[in-house]
């Protein structure tokens, strides 16, 4: 379960202070798929980063599985991100000097690596339909293929929480459908998914829809 309590993030922009996230309270039960919609600059991505421990809140708490993550050391929070959280970003986030297989295996570098990692990475590449591009480098892959590899990497460590920022942005309809299908399948296995999107169609796939507006979070149905 993820609990956000009175969570705020402010930035100094010149003389003024911008409240990117403003006193957000939220509970997401385990296994729920939640979408967050909102205009650009509404604070969606910042909220996602706060949930994943990528940025430190100005105030408030982020509690994952009963642990206030900002009480953890860098080593512990890194371990938490490695073992429990999978991030999916809105840009191609592959490492150009690693082939698809190694890009997928990359998260295992930080936890020592296991002999089974190789096979799991291949299985995941099969899952995203890239079994014939295992040894291709990012420069040899299309934008859609790169996003699929990135999704496979997100799943590599079998995260219990996936934080996806525009996971289907800029993709063609077929690839978008494939990626949503995979996310729904993963969610069906009990993985909590929070996805930030501009697309109402994508948002509609979630069990719960939230709206972000000027740093304030509300249920979409309200």
Residues that bind other proteins (CB under 8 A): 46, 49, 52, 54-56, 74-75, 78-79, 81-83, 87, 89, 91, 93, 95-98, 102, 105-111, 113, 115, 118, 153, 157
User: Smaller CB distance to other proteins: residue 87 or 124?
Assistant: 87
In the complex, the smallest distance separating the C-beta of residue 90 from other proteins, rounded to whole angstroms, is: 9
User: Smaller CB distance to other proteins: residue 42 or 46?
Assistant: 46
Q: What is the C-alpha to C-alpha distance for residues 120 and 196, in angstroms, rounded to an integer? A: 27
User: Smaller CB distance to other proteins: residue 45 or 205?
Assistant: 45
In the complex, the smallest distance separating the C-beta of residue 167 from other proteins, rounded to whole angstroms, is: 14
In the complex, the smallest distance separating the C-beta of residue 221 from other proteins, rounded to whole angstroms, is: 29
* Stretch (H or E) spanning 7: strand 2-13
* 211: three-class secondary structure by DSSP: strand
User: Smaller CB distance to other proteins: residue 113 or 188?
Assistant: 113
Q: Which candidate, 48, 128, 42, places its Cα nearest to that of 85?
A: 48
DSSP code, position 204: T
In the complex, the smallest distance separating the C-beta of residue 127 from other proteins, rounded to whole angstroms, is: 19
Tokens 């079998």 map to which residue? 158
> Which residues pair with residue 2 across a beta bridge?
28, 64
Phi, psi of 119 (to 5 degrees): -65, -40
């Amino acid at each position: 379960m993820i609990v956000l309590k009175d969570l705020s993030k402010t930035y100094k922009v010149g003389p003024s202070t911008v409240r990117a996230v403003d006193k957000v309270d939220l509970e997401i039960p385990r296994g729920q798929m939640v979408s967050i919609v909102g205009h650009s600059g509404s604070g969606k991505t910042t909220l996602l980063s706060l949930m994943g421990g990528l940025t430190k809140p100005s105030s408030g708490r982020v509690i994952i599985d009963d642990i206030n993550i900002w009480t953890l050391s860098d080593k512990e929070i890194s371990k938490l991100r490695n073992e429990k959280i999978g991030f999916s970003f809105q840009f191609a986030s592959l490492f150009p000097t690693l082939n698809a297989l190694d890009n997928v295996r990359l998260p295992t570098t930080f936890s020592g690596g296991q002999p089974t990692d190789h096979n799991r990475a291949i299985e995941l590449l099969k899952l995203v339909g890239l079994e014939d591009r295992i040894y291709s480098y990012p420069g040899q892959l299309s934008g859609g293929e790169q996003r699929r590899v990135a999704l496979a990497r997100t799943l590599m460590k079998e995260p219990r929480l996936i934080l996806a920022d525009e996971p289907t942005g800029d993709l063609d309809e077929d690839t978008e459908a494939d990626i949503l299908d995979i996310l729904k399948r993963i969610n069906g296995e009990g993985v909590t998914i929070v996805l930030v999107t501009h697309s109402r169609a994508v948002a509609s796939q979630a069990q719960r829809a939230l709206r972000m507006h000027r740093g304030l979070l509300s249920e979409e149905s309200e």
